[in-house]
Amino acid sequence: MVRKATRLILCAALLAAGAAAEDFLPMTPMDTDRVPVRLTVEGRGETARRAREQLEMDVSLSGLLREAGEDEEYAAAEVMVSRMAGAVSLAAEVRAGGELLLDRSYRGSSVYPLVHALTDDMVYVLTGERGIASTRIAYVCRSGRSYSLVVKSLDPREGQRVLSDSDVITTPAWGPDGNRIALTSYRSESADLYLYDLSAGRATQLLAGGGLYTSPAWSPDGSSIAFTRSRDSNSDIYLLDVAGGEARRLTARPSIETAADFSPNGQQMIFTSDRLGFPQLYTMDSAGGSAVRLTGVHRYMDSPAWSPAGDRIAYTARVGGDFHIFVMDADGSNVRQVTFEGSLNENPVWSPTGRHLAFSSDRGGERAVYVLELSGLEVIRLSGAGECYLPTWSPLPPLGDERHTERTVRR
Amino acid sequence: MRRIAFSIAAALALVLFTATTGCRPDDTRPDTDTTAVFDTDTLVSDTLGTGVWETDTVMTSTDTLQMHQDMLRDVFYGFDSSELSAAAMDSLMHDASYIMANRGFRVLLEGHCDERGTIEYNLALGERRAQAAYDYLVEYGVSPSRLQTVSYGKERPFAEGHTEAAWAKNRRVHLRVLPGI
């Protein structure tokens, strides 16, 4: 009888979370729709303190869970942190309404990936949705004439400089296979396309010669890359088969066409065009063809990003003399501003679950990369000291039985 | 050592070039009202530049390249614009005369933008700026074979800082001297 009641409460909570997911982009915070979890982290020393702090941050950034207040208890997570022979171990139990939903231990050399894995498991058992705690974000950092591609996890660990050069690295795009990042490099006095292989640690040239190649965007199946070719004062969008072959031209106008991004089913593209004399957003069939202008709300719009569910478009627009991030429905309606600080907010990219945006902003003085959780409009700074911009979000790690029955997490 | 290697490479390039074309390239090209169609890169027109000895081109050193670099003037643009102002045309006229009167180098026209625009659109806009300078130089008589364009958008600013003074310095086409003919 008690168990049955518990199930009912659980169902109600899941329904509430589901309803919140329908409209997770309000203009005012709606933290009350998150599932409250009481967090108890035990263990001694610095490692336990870090685990506690990171778990709080992961839960807060999830947008789906929140730390429970004093007098409320729906779900509870008890985590025991220990250190043995140089390895960190987390033993976690997650209960909701008295029922044990997760009993798992995580072991690895650093505490952070373990907390991320635990948070993502917790999000999954409590809401049925995927979490983003284990994902990573890559971006470009510049220091004078030195450029780097940096890969950063969502925690205080320093970002890893995976690629550095004395010439421009720009417009990185993380591929759907999770292992390759397409980018533009100026190392041969022109803008060429490269593929950086994360596991091999090597950048190989994909396309060079006959113009400038920038702004690569992966098709959702990872088979092709849309990009911008600039030459003779003109910029157009082309499509390249990653396996090889000739690039195919998708737009053919004297105006600037650039910054293409695919719809999640791969059948459409959104891009920037200044055919009216100023940059606006258009959609077209991925095979090319006629384009439709989405909205005339702003006079200067660029860097569109199609949400993973296909329902929304994030972009940069000029308001007054400043640039801010906006989100609209995929048909151009329901335009909402989501950044309000700084004067240069740029290049929004969606998290793979569509609940967050990463973007660059000068709100802290220099340009840095920030992550915005959309239901609470909570913003955290991701990149450390130095000028960093052009974020690109990794895909989710594969969800399989293996990942959720694996008792040891390595990194 | 590097200089010797470079001289050999330059000499080889010259031999190859002489073998394939039989004459050195000229910076001038026919007037635009000429009706016949010419290969503008190789034809000698009736407006002649200053002659130089072919051997001069072999001796290009990094010092010489730096000297050329110091002689060229960058071109500046207005906000969100790729139009050439009177001052910009003056600079380009000076540059064109210098490039045509001197050999042994090529020029990369780098389009740059200030930070008050988005990265991707600026990359395309910088190309328009570079092309505007290119068109002017070619119209003036510089051989297209000595010019190349690239856009850096706002990715490699000349001046750091977030003031109008810095922005004005970054809205430019930089003429970068490269080794070549």
When CB atoms are compared, the residue of A170, A231, A323 closest to B155 is A170
Pairing assessment for the beta strands A257-262 and A356-361 based on DSSP bridges: unpaired
A130-158: b or e for each residue (b if 16 or more CB lie within 10 Å)? bbbbbbbbbbbbbeeeebbbbbbbbbeee
Mean pLDDT of chain B: 77
How far is Cα B49 from Cα A195, in angstroms, rounded to an integer?
A: 45
How far is Cα A288 from Cα A290, in angstroms, rounded to an integer?
A: 7
Q: B22 pLDDT exceeds 60?
A: no
pTM (predicted TM-score):
0.84
Q: Specify which residues A193 forms β-bridges with.
A: A184, A207
Q: State how far residue B124 is from chain A, nearest Cα, in angstroms.
A: 6
When CB atoms are compared, the residue of B116, B120, B151 closest to A171 is B120
pLDDT of residue A32: 54
3-state secondary structure of A366: coil
| Residue A362 with chain B: CB contacts under 8 Å | 162
pLDDT of residue A408: 46
Beta strands in A252-399 (DSSP E): 257-262, 268-273, 280-285, 291-293, 301-306, 312-319, 322-329, 336-337, 345-350, 356-361, 368-373, 378-381, 387-393
The H or E element containing residue A163 is: strand A160-165
Q: Does A214 touch chain B (CB under 8 A)?
A: yes
Question: Closest by alpha carbon to A107, among A76, A127, A141, A81?
Answer: A81
Pairing assessment for the beta strands B105-112 and B172-179 based on DSSP bridges: antiparallel
Q: B15 pLDDT exceeds 80?
A: no
Q: What is the pLDDT of residues A198-227, one digit of tens each?
A: 998 999 999 999 999 999 999 999 999 999
Q: What is the DSSP string of A170-226?
A: EEEEE-TTSSEEEEEE-TTSS-EEEEEETTTTEEEEEE-SSSEEEEEEE-TTSSEEE
Provide the residue type at B113 as one letter.
Answer: C
The H or E element containing residue A403 is: helix A401-405
Subunit contact A228:B120, Cβ cutoff 8 A? yes
Question: Closest by alpha carbon to A130, among A221, A198, A65?
Answer: A65
pLDDT of residue A399: 66
A79-114: b or e for each residue (b if 16 or more CB lie within 10 Å)? bbbbeeeeebbbbbbbbbbeeebbebbbbbebbbbb
Nearby residues of A135 by Cβ (< 8 Å), 6 or more positions away = A154, A351, A352, A393, A394, A395, A396, A397
How far is Cα A143 from Cα A268, in angstroms, rounded to an integer?
A: 37
Can you tell me the mean pLDDT for B35-56?
Answer: 39
Question: Closest by alpha carbon to A384, among A112, A153, A114?
Answer: A153
For residue B126, give the chain A residue with the closest CA: A233
Order the strands of the A169-174 sheet from edge to edge.
A169-174, A180-185, A192-197, A202-207
Nearby residues of B89 by Cβ (< 8 Å), 6 or more positions away = B136
| Residue A303 with chain B: CB contacts under 8 Å | 118-120
Return the residue in A170, A213, A346, A360 with the most chain B beta carbons within 10 A, the one to mutate for interface testing: A170
- pLDDT lower than 50: segments of chain A: 1-24, 26-31, 400-411
Q: How many CB atoms lie within 10 A of CB A325?
A: 25
How far is Cα A15 from Cα A13, in angstroms, rounded to an integer?
A: 5
**Which of A240-244, B54-58, B172-176 is predicted most confidently?**
B172-176
3-state secondary structure of A234: strand
Q: Does A208 touch chain B (CB under 8 A)?
A: no
| Residue B118 with chain A: CB contacts under 8 Å | 279, 300, 302-303, 316, 323, 346-347
| Residue B152 with chain A: CB contacts under 8 Å | 168, 186
Beta strands in A12-74 (DSSP E): 35-42, 65-67
The length of chain B in residues reads: 181
Q: What is the pLDDT of residues B98-156, one digit of tens each?
A: 999 999 999 999 999 999 999 999 999 999 999 999 999 999 999 999 999 999 999 99
| Contact present, A34 and A64 (Cβ < 8 Å) | yes
How far is Cα A374 from Cα A307, in angstroms, rounded to an integer?
A: 12
| Contact present, B131 and A233 (Cβ < 8 Å) | yes
How far is Cα A97 from Cα A88, in angstroms, rounded to an integer?
A: 29
- Token pair belonging to B40: 């503008």
How far is Cα A191 from Cα B124, in angstroms, rounded to an integer?
A: 11
- Token pair belonging to B109: 């026209």
| Contact present, A301 and A317 (Cβ < 8 Å) | yes
Q: What is the pLDDT of residues A152-195, one digit of tens each?
A: 999 999 999 999 999 999 999 999 999 999 999 999 889 999 99
Q: Model ipTM?
A: 0.86
Q: B10 pLDDT exceeds 80?
A: no
Question: Closest by alpha carbon to A370, among A352, A390, A394, A354?
Answer: A390
Subunit contact B124:A316, Cβ cutoff 8 A? no
**Residues 121-160 of chain A whose Cβ lies under 8 A from any Cβ of chain B:** 142, 145
A273-292: b or e for each residue (b if 16 or more CB lie within 10 Å)? bbbeeebbbbbbebebeebe
Subunit contact A347:B118, Cβ cutoff 8 A? yes
Confidence of residue B60 (pLDDT cuts 50, 70, 90): low
Q: Give first-to-last CA distance, chain B, whole Å.
A: 22
Q: B87 pLDDT exceeds 60?
A: yes
What DSSP character marks residue B130? H
How far is Cα A199 from Cα B44, in angstroms, rounded to an integer?
A: 55
For residue B176, give the chain A residue with the closest CA: A189
Percent of chain B with pLDDT over 90: 60
Q: B23 pLDDT exceeds 80?
A: no
How far is Cα A99 from Cα A8, in angstroms, rounded to an integer?
A: 12
How far is Cα A113 from Cα A409, in angstroms, rounded to an integer?
A: 8
> How many interface pairs between A and B have CB atoms less than 8 angstroms apart?
84
- Token pair belonging to B140: 């003036």
| Contact present, A80 and A54 (Cβ < 8 Å) | no
Handedness of CA A325, A329, A331, A334 (dihedral sign): negative
